[in-house]
Amino acid sequence: MSVTASRMLVRDWRGGELGVLVVALVLAVGVVSGISAFTTRLQTALEQESHRFLAADTVVRSGRPLPAEWLDEAASRGLDVVTTLQFPSMVYAGAENMFLASVKAASDGYPLRGALVASPEPFGEPQPADRGPGPGEVWLDSRLFALLDVEIGDTITIGDADFRAVAAARTEPDQAASFTGFGPRVLMHYSDIPATNVVQPGSRVEYRQLYSGAEDQVDAFTEWLEPQLVTGQRLLTVEEGQPGIGSALERAESFLLLAGSLAVVLAGVAVALAARRFSERHHDYVAIMKSLGSTSRAINSLYGRSLLLLGAIATAFGCLLGWSLQAVFFALFSDQLPVQPGPSGVRPYAIGAATSLVCLMSFAWPPLRRLGQASPLRVLRRDLPLEQARSLVDYAIGLAAVALLMWWYSGDWLLTLAVLSGLGLTVLLGMVLALSLLRGGRLVGMRAGSIWRLALAGLQRRGNANALQVVIFGMAIMLLLVLVLVRTSLIDEWQMQLPPDTPNHFMLNISPAEVTAIEQTLRGESIPSQAFYPMIRGRVMVINGEELPAVDDPEVGRRQRESNFTWSDELPPDNRLVAGSWWEKGTDEALVSVEEEFAERLELEVGDTLEFLVGSEPLTAKVASIRALDWQSMRPNFFLIFPPKVLAPYPATFMTSFHLEQGDKVFLNRFIREYPTVTVIEMDVVVEQIRAIIEQVSGAIELVLAVIIAAGGLVLIAGVQASVDARMHESAILRALGARRELILGGLLIEFAALGLFAGVLATAAAELSVFILQAVAMDMAYKPSPWIWPVGGIAGMLLIGGLGVYNCRGVVSTPPVTVLREL
Amino acid sequence: MIKVENLQKRVPMAGGELEILKGITLEIKSGQSAAIVGASGSGKSTLLGLLAGLDEASGGRVEINGRDLGALDEDGRALFRAEHIGFVFQSFQLLPALTALENVMLPLELRGDGNAEELARHYLGRVGLAERVAHYPRQMSGGEQQRVAIARAFATRPSILFADEPTGNLDSGTGGHIVDLLFELNREERSTLVLVTHDEQLAARCERRLQLDAGALVES
């Protein structure tokens, strides 16, 4: 047969039959591949970012010197290597000033990943540096300049060697974000270690070898290295030391996957509607072709090949759209990204192509396949009903395909279930509500004016078709509402998590006598601070009479652990009880509240008895409750909280956190001179980084939301178009009978607006259900009902559908009725 | 040659069955022209549909050129139509997305005719539309559209041509021209012509007149 599929497609395209079908497919492929490419690239970038937190791709750590042969082996394999050594040491400036610092010595090339940040003067503008201090030089923590009373260019002494302070050390990529043993940093060159004579056998030091290179080389080397490690030598992986941006990004990813899944559903519905209309309009063609001698097989083959060709073209354009979407995003935001986006590979586009294939096979093919069964008798009798008997099977196939696609795409059955329950509720309520409301309209309609009578008669005459339309409009509006609601609460939650005055500095080691004075100082400088929490260091020794092993291996969960305690009569803000109950105010009972993860590691339950050692004093307490808390809140958080009376006999220091703008940081110089024993930890760089990432991810979410809204709009257009023919036909007859323009357009407006209102109300109810399941179960967020969407959903549905309906039918009043009747 | 024996058509209705054709028996010889006439609802179009194999009978037998249509399935009948039958319809039934030339080429292409374009041009020339080959149906008048349909019907050189109210949508002047063209081509091609019409003048031009009354044949 030489009526090729491509010629037919060109003819249909010319005839405007394929527009919605093609656009729906292109959007489906575009959104799915775009989001997939975007998240893949972001993930690759974050993986790099996590390497940055190691300052290398792989690191070995030990308390004893590491074999130099390992470095040689790594170098011979083409890897870059660096050695670092970290130890506490007294640092002197002249005879009077000295301070215990945390010294890090690094060889040339450090860090292998990420960058060192320094400033030309203490607390000055942080700038990334190409390299660390050279031999004979040191970088000092900003506060050390004040503590030692030195300035840039002055000499300080470590052990037997003198060094010139050339810069203020601000951050290192692998700086541990822990408060234990936090002395101010001194950075020096590795080759200067011998001259200091401070590292002796038995010293408390940490040796590290850092390696980096191409992924496969690093993997091969790690495989070679692993079997040679002995006790005390530990390989560090990228999962360690990741700061608390993880969960924000995970939720963002869930959101993007949700958005992608919804895009698939929306595009699937649009494809199905467009294909159905295409098939209805082609029934007459097929009847003519059959009367001219075409077989069902030939018809199926023709439409099958057309569909495949269409799919191939739409997939190509869709992939292009997907690529452009992520490229636009990265082009807009790459300057602000803390990391370079990685490559996306071909997988996202393969997912896009697979989506297109599934959409075509399960949404577009069923109605087209029925064309083969169209009766040739239609050439004689156009009033024959269309072959639609099996459309219920079509819906079942479509629903199964949607569920499968969503599950495959998001990899999250809870998320799939949440959306499907919303969709299910829309269908169920839609059918019941629409049918009963439409029937109920009869009584009201009898008494109404002629426009209303016309509109209500129209609504009732096509009762089933209208109920289906309400469901389809409802589904589209529901999916859009779900997305808007989740987006709003996600972004709100992030903003709440890091408001502009989020604490970005911590103050530790405040003696009880200093608390009032420091509080006054901060207030005097108008620096907002959190409450002052007492802090006591102690060690868990015994659980329920069983002594814990005294090992120092982080891999072992159930062992003696040193930790910070505090006391409080009230559950601190951001803490949530997950088991047990909080104690009564003023109790002197020996109770303790344990943080969730800490309890998990030690396998603790409410009612267990713990024995601690605080300094050299024993303390016994019973677990009263287990708490979950938000480690990203940047407020002081504690593993163990006791009633105040229980900890009263033990010596405590205090801690707090406060917010300081970059321009106000010089205050710290004065403060540290005044309170030299207080430790100040700067977290502002980290907070800013989290904020920047959240801003970028929010941007991505807005971008994706815009695309999905376009997909939703497409469904609405396809849904309106599906019923335009029948309405145009009737309106043309009315027009021929002399009906005024206002009557026809008014009737259509009321009819479509009523459908929109029903759909909007349904959608709102279903969206609330979906959002509830999504937030409460799938995304681990707090569910809040959104009463404002009820009027918004209904009114938006009314305006949108009413407007679109009248717009699509406007031709009927501007075209002679005979033309309309002849074309249909 | 068309041979019909005791042909029946019944359709299920709410209150039982409706008998549209009540055992029709007739024979039309090759090269003959026959008009099926009768009042609206007498079963004319149903008979035409069954004769052309567009519909399935409830009983009886239709044989065309020695082939029993009842023994063929839907696809078998389609292939048979492609080989032996041409159509002219009241509402022209041209595909709106195809040009005049493409519309005429369509049945030829369906048969796998290598000369489709040449033949199509020839027949469009024969109906006086050589200059309009690239036009779409919507750019043509009703009479022109019906001429395209006639060119399409004859292009495959069918042994039998069925026409359903071929002038029903045309004014009398244009209708007259179309009928002249139809009979002229029919004579040239020596095909059998079976047409359904209300038009007594048109019926009178046929060699035979088959009068239907409430589903029964009253030959005249």
Instruction: Render pLDDT for A742-760 as a digit per residue (tens, 0 to 9).
Output: 777 888 888 888 888 888 8
Q: How far is A6 from chain B (nearest CA, A)?
A: 14
Choice between A36 and A11, residue whose per-residue pLDDT is larger: A36
A105-156 tens-digit pLDDT: 999 999 988 888 899 988 888 888 888 999 999 999 888 888 888 999 999 9
In angstroms, what separates the C-alpha of A821 from chain B's closest C-alpha? 13
Do A484 and A620 touch, CB atoms closer than 8 A? Answer: no
Closest CB to B98 among A11, A376, A377: A11
- Residue A180 confidence (pLDDT): 41
| B95 in A contact zone (CB under 8 Å) | yes
Query: How far does A15 lie from chain B, in Å, by closest CA?
Result: 6
Mean pLDDT within A167-188? 72
Instruction: Report whether pLDDT(A502) > 70.
Output: yes
d(CA B176, CA B65) in angstroms, rounded, equals: 30
Q: What's the rounded Cα separation, in Å, for the pair A596 and A476?
A: 41
Is the CB of residue B12 less than 8 Å away from at least one CB of chain A? no
Low-confidence ranges of chain B (pLDDT < 50): none
Across chain A, mean pLDDT equals: 80
Which of the listed residues A369, A395, A421 is the one where a domain comes to its end? A395
Query: In this predicted structure, what is the pLDDT of residue A237?
Result: 63
Chain A CB contacts of B112 under 8 Å are 1-2
Residue A3 confidence (pLDDT) above 60: no
A2: confidence class by pLDDT, cuts 50, 70, 90: very low
Q: What is the pLDDT of residue A717?
A: 79
Closest CA to A439 of A472, A466, A471: A466
Higher local confidence (pLDDT), A699 or A567: A567
Shared domain check, A738 and A590: no
Residue B55, chain A, CB below 8 Å: the answer is yes
Q: Are residues A692 and A802 in the same domain?
A: yes
Q: Which of B9, B48, B54 to mutate to test the interface with A (most CBs of A within 10 A)?
A: B54
> Does A548 lie in the same domain as A491?
no
Q: What is the mean pLDDT of residues A206-235?
A: 87
Within-domain flag for A191:
yes
CA distance A250 to chain B (A): 51
Q: Does residue A294 sit at the B interface (CB-CB below 8 Å)?
A: yes
pLDDT digits (tens, 9 = 90+) for A426-469: 888 877 866 676 566 554 544 545 667 666 666 666 666 777 77
- Is the pLDDT at A824 greater than 60, yes or no? no
Same domain as A418, residue A377: no
**A17 to chain B nearest CA, in Å?**
10
Q: Do B75 and A295 touch (CB under 8 A)?
A: yes
Which pLDDT value is given to residue A181? 47
Strands (DSSP E) along A528-582, which ranges?
Answer: 533-543, 546-547, 561-567, 575-580
Name the burial class of residue A133, with classes exposed (0-12), middle (13-18) and buried (19+) by CB atoms within 10 angstroms of its CB.
Answer: buried
Confidence of residue A728 (pLDDT cuts 50, 70, 90): confident
Most confident segment among A11-20, A185-194, A370-379: A185-194
Q: Please answer yes or no on whether A380 and B89 come within 8 Å at the CB atom.
A: yes
pLDDT digits (tens, 9 = 90+) for A532-542: 888 888 888 89
Question: A691: how many CB neighbours lie within 10 A of its CB?
Answer: 18
Residue A505 in any domain: the answer is no
More confident site: A43 or A731: A731
Q: Who has greater pLDDT, A786 or B85?
A: B85
Judge whether A38 and A252 are in contact, CB under 8 Å. no
User: In this model, does residue A389 exceed pLDDT 70?
Assistant: no
Which residue segment(s) compose the domain that B138 sits in? 2-219
Q: Is the pLDDT assigned to residue A302 strictly greater than 50? A: yes
Shortest distance between the Cα of B220 and any Cα of chain A, in A, equals: 25
Distance between CA atoms of residues A68 and A83, nearest Å: 10
With an 8 Å Cβ cutoff, is B161 touching chain A?
no
Helix intervals (H) in A360-390: 365-369
DSSP labels, A620-646: EEEEEEEEEE-GGG-S---SEEE-HHH
Report the domain count for chain A.
4
Span A323-363, pLDDT tens digits: 988 888 777 766 666 566 777 888 889 888 888 888 888 88
Answer whether A296 sits within 8 Å of B48, measured CB to CB: no
In angstroms, the CA A13 to CA A9 distance is 6
Q: Does residue A166 belong to any structural domain of this protein?
A: yes
Q: For residue A158, is it left (φ>0), alpha (ψ between -120 and 50) or beta?
A: beta
Give the rounded distance of the alpha carbon of B52 from its chain centre. Answer: 8
Torsion of CA A756, A760, A762, A766, to 10 degrees: 140
With an 8 Å Cβ cutoff, are A293 and B110 in contact? yes
Greater model confidence, A441 or A629: A629
CB contact under 8 A, B112 and A11: no
| Closest approach of B84 to chain A, Cα-based (Å) | 9
Angle at A685 between CA A596 and CA A97, to 5 degrees: 100
Of A292, A379, A380, the CB nearest to B82: A292
Instruction: Please indicate, yes or no, whether residues A366 and A430 belong to a single structural domain of this protein.
Output: no
Computed on alpha carbons and rounded to an integer, the radius of gyration of chain B in Å comes to 17
Judge if A695 and A814 occupy the same domain: yes
Q: Which of the listed residues A213, A236, A259 is the one where a domain comes to its end?
A: A236
How far apart CA A720 and CA A725 sit, in angstroms, is 10
Q: Are residues A84 and A17 in the same domain?
A: no
Per the CB < 8 A criterion, the answer to whether A700 and A490 are in contact is no
Answer yes or no: is A33 within a domain.
yes
Q: What total number of domains does chain B contain?
A: 1
CA-nearest residue to A302 within chain B is B110
More confidently predicted of A785 and A697: A785
Distance CA A245, CA A264 (A): 29
Residue with tokens 């139809």: B182
> Among all residues of chain A, which has the CA nearest to that of B117?
A2
Chain A to chain B Cβ contacts (< 8 Å) = 81
**CB-CB under 8 Å, A294 with B78:** yes
Partner residue facing B49 (CB), from A2, A289, A377: A377
Residues A299 and A427 in one domain: no
pLDDT value of position A179: 41
CATH number, domain of B170, equals 3.40.50.300
Quick check: is A17 in a domain? yes
The domain containing residue A39 runs over which residues?
1-52+286-395
How many percent of chain A have pLDDT more than 90? Answer: 14
Residues A705, A629: one domain? no
Would an 8 Å CB–CB cutoff place A380 in contact with chain B? yes
Set of chain A residues whose Cβ sits within 8 Å of the Cβ of B74: 295-296
The answer to whether residues A445 and A483 belong to one domain is: yes
Across A596-613, average pLDDT:
89
pLDDT of the residue at A46 = 65
pLDDT at A593 over 90: yes
Q: A644-683, pLDDT tens digit by residue?
A: 988 888 888 888 888 888 778 778 878 877 887 787 777 7
Q: Which residue has the tokens 């060697």?
A: A161
Contacts of A283 in chain B (CB under 8 A): none
- On whether residue A507 sits in a domain, the answer given is no
% chain A with pLDDT above 70: 83
Q: Which of A178, A203, A236 is the last residue of a domain?
A: A236
